[in-house]
Structure 1
């Protein structure tokens, strides 16, 4: 028994809609996949930059420790010199 022309028209319309939706889904999946790839590259670049910052921070921390030690040594020298001057006559040579 042949199908009715109206039913065939509805089936064809539904098939077209399905195919269009499938094409749209494929395009959108491609866009998402492309965006994900770009995001992965950006995360990789950020990870590398963070690694470089870690090295720089470690270097700066070492420099600050060295500077603190130098300041401490200078303070000790100043205290020693001031201690030597205590009780001396400022006008004496």
Structure 2
């Protein structure tokens, strides 16, 4: 008994639907995998930014220390030069 055209059309549509569903499932899996990788990268980047922030704080502290040391040295140089004012350069 030959298939009715409606039965043939239903089988064709069903096959197309299943193929589209399989393709959608594969594409969804790819998107999900990419999203997971992106989340890991964002977490890694967030951690690096956090570490960078603490390094910047350390450098700022070091710069403050150096600035204070330079200020002390400059004050000492000014005191020494002031003590030498009026003295002969050849005198010890």
TM-score of the two chains, using structure 1 as the length reference: 0.89
What is the distance in 1 between the residues matched to 2:32 and 2:89? 82
What is the distance in 1 between the residues matched to 2:86 and 2:7? 116
Q: Does residue 70 of the first structure (1) align with residue 69 of the second (2)?
A: yes
Structure 1: runs of 5 or more not aligned: none
What is the Cα-based RMSD across aligned positions, in Å? 1.2
Aligned length: 90
What is the distance in 1 between the residues matched to 2:55 and 2:90? 51
Deviations 1:20-52 (A, max 9, x none): 001110111111111111111111111111111
Alignment correspondent of 1:54: 53
Alignment correspondent of 1:15: 14
What is the distance in 2 between the residues matched to 1:35 and 1:92? 79
Structure 2: runs of 5 or more not aligned: none
TM-score of the two chains, using structure 2 as the length reference: 0.90
Alignment correspondent of 1:42: 41
- Runs of 4+ deviating beyond 2 Å: none
Q: SS at 1:92's partner residue? A: coil
